[in-house]
């Protein structure tokens, strides 16, 4: 593992959210700083999995299909166009979770 410089972060957040997050972190045996770090990493440079081949790829720099407007998998070239209606609907709502998390569109 490479050595990384750590910086102290002071933020103000909702009491209840912090309390629940601390409880959950304790249950999972994770330091809260790891949880925050992990989320911030994802927030800064989100990665998704291709719905067809399962390849993990970074959202940033990925191509968008001009037909469906979805991210195109760099490995297999799949996008919304390759999915049937039912699968596309599943994928849509899965991606919506990301978007809620990231407070914005995944593109
Ligand atoms: Zn793929
Ligand atoms: Zn497409």
pLDDT tens per residue, range 59-77: 999 999 999 999 999 999 9
Find, among 50, 56, 64, 59, the residue nearest to 104 by Cα. 59
How far, in Å, is the centroid of ligand 2 from the Cα of 66? 7
2: confidence class by pLDDT, cuts 50, 70, 90: low
How far, in Å, is the centroid of ligand 1 from the Cα of 49? 8
Global model pTM greater than 0.85: no
99: confidence class by pLDDT, cuts 50, 70, 90: confident
How far, in Å, is the centroid of ligand 2 from the Cα of 40? 29
β-sheet bridge partners, residue 47: 58
Give the number of the ligand closest to the Cα of residue 79.
2
How far, in Å, is the centroid of ligand 1 from the Cα of 85? 18
Q: Which domains does the chain show, CATH number per domain?
A: 1-44 (1.10.1220), 47-107 (no CATH)
């Amino acid at each position: 593992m490479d050595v990384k410089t750590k910086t102290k972060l002071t933020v103000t957040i909702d009491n209840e959210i912090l309390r629940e997050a601390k409880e959950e972190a304790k249950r999972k045996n994770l330091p809260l700083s790891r949880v925050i770090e992990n989320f911030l990493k994802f927030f800064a440079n989100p990665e998704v999995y291709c719905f067809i081949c399962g390849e993990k790829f970074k959202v940033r720099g990925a191509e968008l299909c001009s037909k469906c407007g979805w991210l195109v998998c760099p490995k297999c070239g799949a996008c919304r166009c390759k999915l049937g209606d039912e699968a596309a609907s599943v994928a849509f709502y899965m991606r919506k979770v990301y978007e809620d998390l990231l407070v914005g569109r995944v593109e």
